[in-house]
């Protein structure tokens, strides 16, 4: 999976927040494998579903365009 990578972001209120480098790589790997799971994102654990473009944190569903 080398080559082009994307910067994943998530919605936080009215802003789009970028994933840090480590969690961005984890999301890329999950996306490539059609997988989902827990990822440590910018200081907190979140459930990530990159195939359906959302994450869940603190019982809130946040969208990942």
Nearest CA to 23 out of 2, 44, 3, 51 is that of 44
User: Domain range for residue 32?
Assistant: 9-63
Q: What is the pLDDT of residue 6?
A: 84
Number of domains in the chain: 1
Q: Which residue has the tokens 């999976």?
A: 1
pLDDT digit string, tens, across residues 3-23: 657 899 988 889 999 999 999
The distance from CA 19 to its chain's CA centroid, rounded to whole angstroms, is: 7
- In this prediction the pTM is 0.80
Would 44 be classed as within a structural domain? yes
Residue 58 resides in a domain: yes
Cα distances (angstroms) measured from residue 29 to each of 39, 45, 56: 11, 17, 18
Is 33 inside any structural domain?
Answer: yes
């Amino acid at each position: 999976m080398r080559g082009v990578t994307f910067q994943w972001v998530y919605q936080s209120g009215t802003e789009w927040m970028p994933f840090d480098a480590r969690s961005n790589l984890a999301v890329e790997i999950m996306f490539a494998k059609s997988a989902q799971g827990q990822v440590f994102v910018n200081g907190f654990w979140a459930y990530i579903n990159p195939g359906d473009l959302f994450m869940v944190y603190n019982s809130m569903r946040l969208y990942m365009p």
